């Protein structure tokens, strides 16, 4: 009699195990069909040791990463992509996020440089962003603003050049923001006395004033 009861218990245990296996398989199928974070989390919570538990955890990770990337794209801002990188530092779209951030920062910097519209702001932009369409536009703008000099003369030594510079600065200070002495280079063995970089229009106007006083002046491109 006791042997019969033992057999009955074993059969009941087998039935319970089979039912549990069948239930886990069914719920895994349901979770897969729903394909949501909540569905997979519920499955793992109920069946942490099931053969599909690892797959469920992997899908949770993938869905969270996809949600974070989608949120970043919807925000379409530096902050949005930075939040993605913080949440998913090893995510599938980290490189794309960094590129999006770099693009938006470059565009914002170019907008600021255009608003300021000074030679210094353009030079600062080019130092940080030397390539790209904005860099080409910055160089064109810089040439317009400060792509020329007024060459006022030359001297064989630095002392004479500095003396001439001081005399020209005193006499034509209203026409030139600054008068400089440039060191000899590969193109000239003399010291060159020139204005600071300026626009072509300003250089022409300043040279006209210098020439009216009987002095020589030539508009040249700033190197």
pLDDT band at 188 (very low <50, low <70, confident <90, very high): confident
What is the 3-class SS of the chain, one letter each residue?
CHHHHHHHHHHHHHHHHHHHHHHHHHHHHHHHHHCCHHHHHHHHHHCCCCCCHHHHHHHHHHHHHHHHHHHHHHHCCHHHHHHHHHHCCCCCCHHHHHHHHHHHHHHHHHHHHHHHCCHHHHHHHHHHCCCCHHHHHHHHHHHHHHCEEEEEEEECCHHHHHHHHHHHHHHCCCCCCCEEEECCECCECCEEEEECCECHHHHHHHHHHHHHCCCCCEEEECC
pLDDT for the residue numbered 22: 58
Up-side HSE of residue 40: CA atoms within 13 Å toward CB?
Answer: 18
Structure tokens at 186: 């590969």
Q: What CATH number has the domain spanning 147-221?
A: 3.30.70.1070
Distance from C-alpha of 34 to C-alpha of 88, rounded to nearest angstrom: 23
Higher pLDDT, 222 or 100: 100
Q: What is the pLDDT of residues 124-162, one digit of tens each?
A: 999 999 998 999 999 999 888 888 999 999 999 999 999
Q: What is the pLDDT of residues 2-45, one digit of tens each?
A: 555 554 445 444 444 444 445 888 999 998 999 999 999 999 99
Higher pLDDT, 186 or 94: 94
Q: What is the pLDDT of residues 76-132, one digit of tens each?
A: 999 999 999 999 999 999 999 999 999 999 999 999 999 987 888 998 999 999 998
Distance from C-alpha of 60 to C-alpha of 15, rounded to nearest angstrom: 32
Q: What is the pLDDT of residues 58-76, one digit of tens each?
A: 999 999 999 999 999 999 9
Residues composing the chain: 223
Contacts of 223 (CB under 8 A, 6+ apart): none
Q: Among 74-78, 103-107, 183-187, 207-211, where is mean pLDDT lowest?
A: 183-187
Phi then psi for residue 22, to 5 deg, are -65, -40
Enumerate the CATH 3.30.70.1070 domain ranges in the chain, comma separated: 147-221
Query: Is it the case that residue 169 has pLDDT exceeding 80?
Result: yes
Distance from C-alpha of 176 to C-alpha of 192, rounded to nearest angstrom: 16
Are the C-beta atoms of 144 and 199 separated by less than 8 Å? Answer: yes
pLDDT for the residue numbered 157: 94
């Amino acid at each position: 009699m006791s042997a019969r009861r033992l057999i009955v218990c074993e059969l009941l245990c087998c039935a319970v195990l089979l039912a549990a296996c069948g239930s886990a398989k069914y719920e895994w199928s349901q979770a897969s069909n729903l394909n949501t974070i909540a569905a997979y989390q519920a499955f793992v919570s109920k069946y942490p040791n099931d053969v599909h538990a690892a797959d469920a955890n992997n899908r949770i990770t993938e869905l969270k990463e996809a949600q974070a990337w989608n949120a970043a794209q919807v925000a379409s801002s530096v902050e949005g992509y930075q939040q993605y990188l913080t949440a998913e530092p090893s995510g599938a779209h980290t490189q794309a996020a960094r590129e999006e951030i770099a693009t938006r920062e470059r565009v914002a910097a170019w907008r600021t440089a255009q608003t300021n519209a000074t030679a210094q702001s353009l030079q600062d932009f080019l130092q940080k962003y030397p390539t790209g369409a904005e860099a080409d536009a910055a160089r064109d703008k810089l040439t317009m603003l400060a792509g020329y000099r007024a060459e006022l003369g030359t001297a064989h030594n630095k002392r004479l050049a500095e003396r001439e510079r001081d005399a020209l600065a005193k006499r034509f200070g209203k026409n030139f923001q600054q008068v400089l002495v440039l060191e000899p280079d590969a193109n000239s063995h003399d010291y060159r006395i020139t204005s600071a970089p300026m626009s072509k229009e300003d250089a022409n106007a300043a040279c006209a004033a210098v020439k009216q006083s009987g002095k020589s002046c030539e508009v040249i491109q700033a190197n």
